[in-house]
Amino acid sequence: MTPADAAEVLALCAAFDLRTIGEADARAWAYALRDVPLDDDTRQAVADHYGVTEKRATPADVRRIRARIREARIGAAHPVYDGNPTETGKQFTARRREQLAAAAEGHLPPRSITQALDAAPPAAVLALVAGVGRPVDDEPRPYITPEQRSALRAPLPNQRAALPALAVPCPVETCRAGRRRLCKRGAGIELRNNVHGRRRDAYAVEVTTCPDCGAAPGQHCTAPEPHPARIRAAQEAAA
């Protein structure tokens, strides 16, 4: 920046803060900004300064705001230099600086990091994404057949047998296991292959009609305890 350039910058500042400008001011500003050219970014830096404060601008303010303007353009452009395997380190440095300067000047358009890296998904992936949410004509097929499902649900060797009584809570005071929870005995040890007798009885009352007294599901037998025939009927129905 020459003294004449600095005088133009000072004149722009004076339009905002009404400062008095002299030849010494222009020379001092020119020396402080000797590596900063007079361009639209410098003028915008002055305008941006007075757009947010009433304080007088200094050469440091102009330098800082101008650098911020240019850095914002570089950040928006996401310049990526692919490089050349045959170039020297000096050539790489020079070309990279030219690229950053072009971005700072606004010669490179803004773009996303995905565009800069050319990281768009393959066409096959885009085709799959385009089909998400669209209705289909055919009913979805099950992952496995009913026969396979039954085979998988059957108890396997060395595993606990199916416990249909888990469908009801355990009424034993020291257990109180909830639905689908295993019964527990002392010290919190789970009963893997059986349930408490009272839970078995509660299940029979819940799901089976008593063959002896005719009590409907959910109704207690006429006897204090469920009739043995009702318990057997529940076990046979769950088998």
CB 226, CB 214: distance < 8 Å: no
CB 38, CB 8: distance < 8 Å: yes
Q: What is the pLDDT of residues 5-43, one digit of tens each?
A: 999 999 999 999 999 999 999 999 999 999 999 999 999
Q: What is the pLDDT of residues 42-69, one digit of tens each?
A: 999 999 999 999 999 999 999 999 999 9
Residue 74: pLDDT band with limits 50, 70, 90: very high
Q: What is the C-alpha to C-alpha distance for residues 210 and 205, in angstroms, rounded to an integer?
A: 8
Any alpha helices (H) in the chain, and if so which ranges? 3-17, 23-32, 40-50, 59-77, 89-105, 113-117, 123-131, 146-153, 197-207, 228-238
Mean pLDDT of 85-100: 90
DSSP structural state of residue 133 = T
CB 199, CB 182: distance < 8 Å: no
> Phi and psi for 100 in degrees, rounded to 5?
-65, -40
- pLDDT above 70 (res 152): no
Question: Which helix or strand (DSSP H or E) is residue 1 part of?
Answer: none
Q: What is the pLDDT of residues 166-198, one digit of tens each?
A: 999 999 988 999 998 999 987 788 888 889 999
For position 189, what pLDDT does the model report? 86
* CA dihedral angle for residue 92, residue 97, residue 102, residue 105, rounded to 10 degrees: 180
Q: What is the C-alpha to C-alpha distance for residues 166 and 178, in angstroms, rounded to an integer?
A: 8
User: Considering only 42-51, 144-153, 207-216, which range has the smallest mean pLDDT?
Assistant: 144-153
